[in-house]
């Protein structure tokens, strides 16, 4: 929890004092900015939308805009800078201080949540919130909602099909941030469970009342209540509109409807500059609303639009490909722009088809070795992917070869909790004496701790010996079940059924079949009830089927996993060591690297199957490809496997439609099959191939 009380009368600092226009350290705006940047920085009063393309100097433009306002007599206390991260705000204000000599403490800058929290310290009493309210962190808010749910329905969590508190809170949070009714969002996520939908609405009501009664807020409240103040309390609205004469909003393409409404209410006489890029809107799945930047001119009459199109990052060849991606947009509403290069010419981007994920990994690593031997450092190289599981084979090969790499988007594949949970079940079936593996998944059940789990396992071992049955069967015996905590009985029975089924197939089936059996059992229900992002986690687990298919026996597969973990552990990356960067594309936004590999560019992988089937936004997938491509400075490699193993069946993959749509003048085809170092080709019978999708 965060608990603080500010005794200042005005948390936003002293009221602004009008000042005379002065030169700040002799800034020559015309000289220090390019033509596009200069026009945006020196824009006259009124609403402005700055469309800053990838690598075009967005931060520089915002920084100089603040300096320009100061030069023209705007007090620093009258400028409000809204960002999405504290880091972005801090860096920007530090640059302003360096540029102007005016202390960063005189400006108000920060995240929407930070500023919203301060707003509630001033006016929270108007909505019944005490000045000394406490802000719950994620863990505390999960715990409180869990408490409320148990009070409303003590038996709710006993039903294994019901989600836990965390995914329910995620659903509530999403609904509040996108301005939708919670029941509407719940209906979309749980269409077949009407009772659950009604319950979630009750839980929200109880959660809201409990927070208010105890003087608590969660992160979402900081925005929801701030908007409530602005919409329903003239005193608060007038304060903000009089207090801040100029509002600057960074990364405006990422605002949700709640944040956009706050900005619209805070600004006075439309004195707002929004900076963003609709082509880089890639977070709609977590609430970002593309329509907010597209409709900005409609909501703020007289908006002047400035396009900053000179790119200082990428070669002309890479930008040619990136522009081609945008040319193929099918959305009726978008802002046209064309990135212009300032860097010298380099080679065309390369498109490389490979046999499968392992050959894809072989090519990437061989090419990295070539780059390294030619003078490139490892930290100048990034490998980007649509989903974490796309990089599994690559992580295996990098670990096996002892190359230094960092995953900036999370843990290594085999170190992820859900992967280790599933592997633990396989380990235990293969070796019932592996108590460590048993404890890992048994302790996931409610009210089952280590002592209880060990006691139950010990009893099962005794029964197995007495009855001449497997330990897996013994765990489901009525005598063991009687000792299982009441809250865990249903889950325990489901778990034991899964272990028995895994044990049955393990004796006479391939490892891939065994893994499939484990994925479809008890743990699937656990994932769906526990994690809001369970579809992504299931995709990770499904990729283990392909990994398993590379091994003859379950024991061999498990041994390989141990060796991989050991090799990864032995190769500890030292602080400051140059490392290859692995990242999802979402996590790479805002970063840049001389050499970039984008892997998994096949229909069904990127774009993903949900987008192709119309269940998610295909255009957002295209924008994601654009963002990935524009991370590259000098060289860009686009790779895709032509075969994948889906649930034990070889499946033929087709080149991503995003590549197909591009003119072949924008890239070169590279034959990976003839590249040195490939010895992993496998034969797949034609009868075993199936084409993904419908005629791609």
If you write DSSP's letter for every residue of 428-457 in order, what string do you get?
HHH-TT-HHHHHHHHTTSTT--HHHHHHHH
Q: Is the pLDDT of residue 630 over 80?
A: yes
Cβ contact 65:248 at 8 Å? yes
Residue 363 CB coordination number (10 Å):
25
pLDDT at 674: 58
CA 301 – CA 296 distance, rounded (Å)? 9
pLDDT at 49: 97
pLDDT band at 692 (very low <50, low <70, confident <90, very high): very low
pLDDT at 14: 59
CA 546 – CA 189 distance, rounded (Å)? 29
Comparing 82-96, 124-138, 667-681, the range with the smallest average pLDDT is 667-681
Cβ contact 106:77 at 8 Å? yes
pLDDT band at 5 (very low <50, low <70, confident <90, very high): very low
More confident residue, 502 or 103: 502
Say whether 330 sits in a helix, a strand or coil.
coil
Residue 415 CB coordination number (10 Å):
14
Helix (H) or strand (E) holding 614: none
- For residue 666, how far is the Cα from the chain centroid? 29
Report the b/e string of 596-609 with b at 16+ CB within 10 A: bbbbbbbbbbbbbe
> In the beta sheet, which residues pair with residue 308?
52
Helix (H) or strand (E) holding 545: helix 534-549
pLDDT at 671: 82
> In the beta sheet, which residues pair with residue 304?
48
Cα dist. 518→237, 447, 514, 535, 690 in Å?
A: 56, 23, 6, 16, 24
Eight-state DSSP code of residue 157: G
Q: Is the pLDDT of residue 503 over 80?
A: yes
Query: What share of the chain has pLDDT > 90, as a percent?
Result: 62
Residue written as tokens 């403490």?
A: 105
Q: Is the pLDDT of residue 409 over 80?
A: no
Cβ contact 373:315 at 8 Å? no
pLDDT at 8: 41
Structure-token pair, residue 566: 């050991």
Residue 174 CB coordination number (10 Å):
19
Phi and psi based region of residue 164 (left: phi greater than 0; alpha: psi -120 to 50; beta: remaining): beta
More confident residue, 377 or 110: 377
pLDDT tens, residue by residue, 150-172: 999 998 988 878 899 999 999 99
pLDDT band at 192 (very low <50, low <70, confident <90, very high): confident
Residue written as tokens 């439309």?
A: 270
- Residues 528/534/539/545 CA torsion (nearest 10 deg): -40
pLDDT at 615: 73
Cβ contact 220:174 at 8 Å? no
Q: H-type helices in 328-389, by residue range?
A: 357-373
pLDDT tens, residue by residue, 673-682: 655 444 333 3
Cβ contact 632:595 at 8 Å? yes
Q: Is the pLDDT of residue 90 over 60?
A: yes
pLDDT at 11: 56
pLDDT band at 672 (very low <50, low <70, confident <90, very high): confident
Structure-token pair, residue 402: 């002892």
Query: What share of the chain has pLDDT > 70, as a percent?
Result: 91
pLDDT tens, residue by residue, 507-562: 888 898 999 999 999 999 899 889 888 888 988 898 888 888 888 889 888 888 77
Burial of 398 (0-12, 13-18, 19+ CB in 10 A): buried
pLDDT at 6: 38
Sign of CA dihedral 446, 448, 453, 459: negative
pLDDT at 647: 65
Q: Is the pLDDT of residue 567 over 50?
A: no
Roughly what angle, to the nearest 10 degrees, separates helices 194-214 and 165-178?
A: 80
Report the residue count for the chain.
696
Residue 463 CB coordination number (10 Å):
18
Cβ contact 489:481 at 8 Å? yes
pLDDT at 575: 67
Residue-averaged pLDDT of the chain: 87
Q: Is the pLDDT of residue 21 over 80?
A: no
Residue 265 CB coordination number (10 Å):
17
Report the b/e string of 142-164 with b at 16+ CB within 10 A: bebbbebbeeebeebbeeeebbb
């Amino acid at each position: 929890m965060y608990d603080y009380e500010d005794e200042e009368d005005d948390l936003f600092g002293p009221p602004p004092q009008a000042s005379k226009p002065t030169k700040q350290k002799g800034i020559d705006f015309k000289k220090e900015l390019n033509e596009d940047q200069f026009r945006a920085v020196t824009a006259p009063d009124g609403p402005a939308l700055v469309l800053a393309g990838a690598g075009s100097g967005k931060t520089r433009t915002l920084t100089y805009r603040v300096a320009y306002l100061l030069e023209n007599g705007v007090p620093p206390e009258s400028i409000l800078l809204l960002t999405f991260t504290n880091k972005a705000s801090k860096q920007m204000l530090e640059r302003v201080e360096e540029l102007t000599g005016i202390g960063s403490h005189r400006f108000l800058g920060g995240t929407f949540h930070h500023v919203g929290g301060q707003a509630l310290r001033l006016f929270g009493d108007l909505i019944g919130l005490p000045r000394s309210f406490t802000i719950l962190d994620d863990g505390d808010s999960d715990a409180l909602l869990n408490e409320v749910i148990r009070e409303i329905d003590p038996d709710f969590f006993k039903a294994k099909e019901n989600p836990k508190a965390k995914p329910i809170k995620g659903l509530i949070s999403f609904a509040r941030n996108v301005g939708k009714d919670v029941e509407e969002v719940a209906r979309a996520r749980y269409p077949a469970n009407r009772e659950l939908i009604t319950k979630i609405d009750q839980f929200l009501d109880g959660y809201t009342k409990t927070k208010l009664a105890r003087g608590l807020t969660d992160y979402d409240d900081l925005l929801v209540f701030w908007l409530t103040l602005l919409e329903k309390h003239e005193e608060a609205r007038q304060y903000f509109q009089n207090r801040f004469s100029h509002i600057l909003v960074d990364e405006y393409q990422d605002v949700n409807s709640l944040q956009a409404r706050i900005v619209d209410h805070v600004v006075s006489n439309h004195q707002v500059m929004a900076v963003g890029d609709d082509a880089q809107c890639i977070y709609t799945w977590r609430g970002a609303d593309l329509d907010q930047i597209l409709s900005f001119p409609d909501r703020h009459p007289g908006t002047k639009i400035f396009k900053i199109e000179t790119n200082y990052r990428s070669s002309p060849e890479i930008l040619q490909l990136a522009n081609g991606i945008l040319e193929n947009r099918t959305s009726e509403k978008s802002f046209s722009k064309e990135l212009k290069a300032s860097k010298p010419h380099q080679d065309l981007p390369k498109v490389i088809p490979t046999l499968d994920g392992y050959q894809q990994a072989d090519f990437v690593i061989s090419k990295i070795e070539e780059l390294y031997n030619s003078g490139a450092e490892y930290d100048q190289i990034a490998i980007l992917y649509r989903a974490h599981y796309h990089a599994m084979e690559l992580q295996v090969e990098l670990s096996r070869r002892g190359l230094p790499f960092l995953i900036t988007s999370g843990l290594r594949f085999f170190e992820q909790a859900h992967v280790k949970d599933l592997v633990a079940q396989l380990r235990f079936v293969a070796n019932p004496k592996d108590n460590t593996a048993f404890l890992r998944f048994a302790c996931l059940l409610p009210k089952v701790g280590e002592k209880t789990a060990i006691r139950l396992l010990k009893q099962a071992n005794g029964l197995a010996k007495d009855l001449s049955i497997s330990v897996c069967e013994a765990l489901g015996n009525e005598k063991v079940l009687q000792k299982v905590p009441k809250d865990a009985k249903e889950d325990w029975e489901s778990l034991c059924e899964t272990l028995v089924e895994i044990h049955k197939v393990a004796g006479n089936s391939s490892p891939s079949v065994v893994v499939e059996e484990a994925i479809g059992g008890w743990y699937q229900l656990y994932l769906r009830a526990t994690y809001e992002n369970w579809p992504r986690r299931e995709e990770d687990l499904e990729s283990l089927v392909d990994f398993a298919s590379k091994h003859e026996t379950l024991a061999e597969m498990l041994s390989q996993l141990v060796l991989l973990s050991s090799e990864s552990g032995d190769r500890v990356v030292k602080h400051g060591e140059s490392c290859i960067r692995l990242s999802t594309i979402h996590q790479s936004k805002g970063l840049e690297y001389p050499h970039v590999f984008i892997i998994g560019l096949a229909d069904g992988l990127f774009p993903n199957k949900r987008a192709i089937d119309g269940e998610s936004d295909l255009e957002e997938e295209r924008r994601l490809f654009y963002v990935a491509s524009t991370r590259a400075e000098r060289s860009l490699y686009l790779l895709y496997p032509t075969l994948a193993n889906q649930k034990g069946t070889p499946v033929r993959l087709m080149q991503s439609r995003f590549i197909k749509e591009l003119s072949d003048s924008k890239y070169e085809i590279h034959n990976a099959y003839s590249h040195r170092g490939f010895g992993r080709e496998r034969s797949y019978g034609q009868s075993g191939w199936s084409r993904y999708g419908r005629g791609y």
